[in-house]
Amino acid sequence: MSRLFICSVVPNEYIVKLKASQAANNFCYRLINGNCFDKIYSVLPISYNFVPYKDDKITYFTNKGTNVLSKLFKFVINTINVVKKAKTYDDIWFYNINNSNAFVFLFLKIFYRKRLFVIMADYTPSNNIFSFQYFIGRLINIADGIISLSSRSCFKFKRNQKILPGIIDDKMLDDNVNPNNKIIFLFSGTLSKITGFEMALKTFSKIPQAQLYISGNGSFVDDYACFKNIHFMGNLEYDKYLELLNSSTVCLNFRDPKLAENNNNFPSKILDYFSRGKIVLSTIMYPEIDGANYLYCSFNETSIINMVNEILKMPIPELKKYSYNNEFLKNNFSLDAWKKAFKAIEMYR
């Protein structure tokens, strides 16, 4: 049985230039480097200007062109080529369904009756039957099975679904966890309302004694430039981001639990924080990581400010107990767990 993976990864050196998701790239590369698939097709969004180079593992399908029409033409040709090549595989896995691969999924299912599966990391539902998000939802519903990163997903595949919030390579785990004497807070990721960027700025502007460092895709809000405890680092290259992460003590996950987008995903970056011995402060209590050590507070200014002040007063030994999750990660999110999940879902008929 042959297994194909259709995703949208790019080489790490292109992440910043293309404003791609580092977290999604990391996630997919762990599966790829773990030899979970026989072949990988990276079908890139039409907005990416990327010239592919030879890669033994990954075949890139890009839409590079001189104008919108040439890009659209290349997009159509790529869709046809991906379908023609993909139809020869027995089991085909998609990392999310999006505007770059939705028609590949549709044609493979309708014209070739292929067995299609989805790793659902993100999805924003819509009740508007004319919206593309509604169309994507319908496609996910006709998949032969899914692995969802969220147990709070709106998709309930009773027949063939597994919940796995992320993947951790044992080599990533740091057994020498020692929180810094100087507490540094880190907000990293897409700088948007969905990720809680605005909440981070509002709350930390009112806690001058707490040092907040910010890194990710998006623009800083000029109104907060005068606050000396808020440091905007921009969208860093991955090695520079890791330096910033290693110097941080507490990593923030300020997502609003009332937003539908946050019910259909799990921030896999939380597992990365755990693996590096970082303390996580989250505004969502995730059932997907029940049993892990992390700090929780409600998604409102008062609760967050009170919790940050409490953290600043905590003795280092007390803080340290929230920084060790290695056994939890090994037992729940190993490469072996993902390989077993793929096999179990594919065996279902």
pLDDT at 261: 85
- The pTM of this model reads 0.89
Question: How far apart, in whole angstroms, are the C-alpha atoms of residue 201 and residue 195?
Answer: 12
Confidence at residue 158, expressed as pLDDT on a 0 to 100 scale = 61
pLDDT the model gives residue 153: 78
**Mean confidence (pLDDT) of the chain:** 92
| pLDDT score for 175 | 62
Ranges assigned E (strand) in the chain: 3-7, 39-43, 58-61, 91-95, 115-120, 146-148, 161-163, 184-188, 211-215, 230-232, 250-253, 279-282, 295-296
Dig out the tokens for 226 from the structure: 């005068």
User: In 189-278, at which residue ranges do the beta strands (DSSP E only) sit?
Assistant: 211-215, 230-232, 250-253
Query: Nearest Cα to 204, choosing from 180, 181, 220?
Result: 220
Q: How far apart are CA 247 and CA 181, in angstroms?
A: 11
Parts of the chain with a pLDDT under 50: none
Rounded CA-CA distance 282/254 in Å is: 6
pLDDT attached to residue 260: 85
Q: Are 239 and 212 in contact (CB under 8 A)?
A: no
Specify whether the CB–CB gap between 334 and 170 falls below 8 A: yes
Q: What is the pLDDT of residue 54?
A: 73
User: For residue 299, what pLDDT is reported?
Assistant: 98
